[in-house]
Amino acid sequence: MSNLSRREEDTLLKTTKAHALKECDSIVKEFADCASGRTVSVAWACREKYKAVQDCMYQYTRPESMQLVRDEYLRIRNEHQRQPPQALS
């Protein structure tokens, strides 16, 4: 089976986004510090920092990266399906 269920797709997306946030943590923190205490002015005062967050996140969540994550997940899932079930002791 080479297709992902909707649940699997959602889980992979959430996991990949969490990984991206972890990898981009210092950039996200800079944006959060800039945005702290601002309301409307955040749109122009922190524009460059927000763009940096988007650029960082995109490198982990762009379509090509997501396809690599899907392919690896499917490879692992298919390996597990081919293994015989373990007997319960």
Classify each residue of 4-33 as buried b or exposed e, where b means 16 or more C-beta atoms within 10 Å of its C-beta.
Answer: eeeeeeeebeeebeeebeeebeebbebbee
- Do the domain assignments include residue 24? yes
Query: What pTM did the predictor assign?
Result: 0.75
> Alpha-carbon distance 1 to 25, whole Å?
36
Q: Residue 36 is which amino acid?
A: S
- Do the domain assignments include residue 81? no
- Do the domain assignments include residue 85? no
Q: How many domains does the chain have?
A: 1
pLDDT of residue 36: 95
* 8 Å CB contact between 27 and 53: yes
- Do the domain assignments include residue 82? no
Mean pLDDT in order along the chain per 10 residues (89 residues) = 85 95 97 94 95 96 93 90 71
Domain that holds residue 16: 9-72
